[in-house]
Amino acid sequence: MKFFIDTANLADIREAQDMGILDGVTTNPSLMAKEGITGKDNVMRHYKQICEIVEGDVSAEVIGTTFDEMVSEGEELAELDENIVVKIPMTRDGVKALKYFSEKGIRTNCTLIFSAGQALLAAKAGASYVSPFVGRLDDISTDGIELIEQIVTIYRNYGYTTEVLAASIRHPMHVIQCAEIGADVMTGPLSVMTALLNHPLTDIGLAKFLADHKKAGTAK
C-alpha cells in the first residue's frame, strides 16, 4: 500500500520523507491556502519545492472549472516535474479533461469522488488515480470505507488500472480498513501516519527491556 501525505506543509512532508515511508503527496486548494501560498508563481514554486523533497507522485489540483481551463492549467502543472499528477475534479468537463490527458500520456488524479458511479466514469476516462473521500462521507453518516470496497471490486471485475487512492483519511483505523480491502494508496495527514506507530504494550515492553538491561548492568 502506498502512503501519500495530504498536506502542502513542507516540514510535515520532510518529516514523513525522513521516516522512509512516504510514497507521494496530495494537495488541494484548501491545503495550499492553509500554508498561505497564493498567486500563480508562488503556487508553482511551492509544487517544485515539494517535488524536490519527495521522489513519488505529487498531486497538483487545477483551479479552472471549464475543459479549456483545466487543460491549459494541467499542461503547465505537468511541465513542472515528471512526478506531477494533475488533479481534476469529478465534473462533466473534468471527465473530458481526464480523457484528454490520458490520451496525451499526462497522469491524473480524479478528486471529489463520492460514489462508485463517479469512480467508474473516471476509470473509463483513463484517470491514473481516483480519490474517494472516506472521512467526508463518514462526516455525513455514510460509510466511506464501503465506497472504497465497492470501487476496488468494480475495478478488479473489469481490470481497470486506475489506482484507488483512499482520501480524506482521518485516523489509523481508516488506514487499516483500506489496507484490508486492498486500496492501492491512502492519503492522510502526518498525524495519521505517526498514530500507526503507537501501542501501549510497545511502550511498556520497551521500558521493561531497558530497565532489565540497566539492572543487569548494575548487578555486575
Instruction: State in angstroms the smallest separation of the CB of 214 from ligand E4P.
Output: 43
Per CB under 6 A, 187 contacts ligand E4P: yes
Per CB under 6 A, 26 contacts ligand E4P: yes
Choosing from 2, 34, 48, 87, which is the catalytic residue? 87
Query: Measured between alpha carbons, how far is 91 from 220 in angstroms, rounded to an integer?
Result: 72
* Residue environment code for 121-151, b if the CB has 16+ CB neighbours within 10 A, otherwise e: bbbebbbbbbbbbbeebbeeeeebbebbbbb
Instruction: State in angstroms the smallest separation of the CB of 166 from ligand E4P.
Output: 9
Instruction: State in angstroms the smallest separation of the CB of 136 from ligand E4P.
Output: 5
Residue 90: φ, ψ to 5°: -75, 90
Out of 83, 118, 150, 168, name the contact with ligand E4P by CB under 6 A: 168
124 is annotated as an active-site residue: no
- For residue 84, what are the β-bridge partners? 58
The x, y and z cell numbers of residue 71, run together, are: 487543460
The 3-state DSSP class for residue 180 equals helix
Per CB under 6 A, 28 contacts ligand E4P: yes
**List of residues contacting ligand E4P (CB under 6 A):** 6, 26, 28, 111, 131, 133, 135-136, 167-168, 187
Residues labelled catalytic? 87
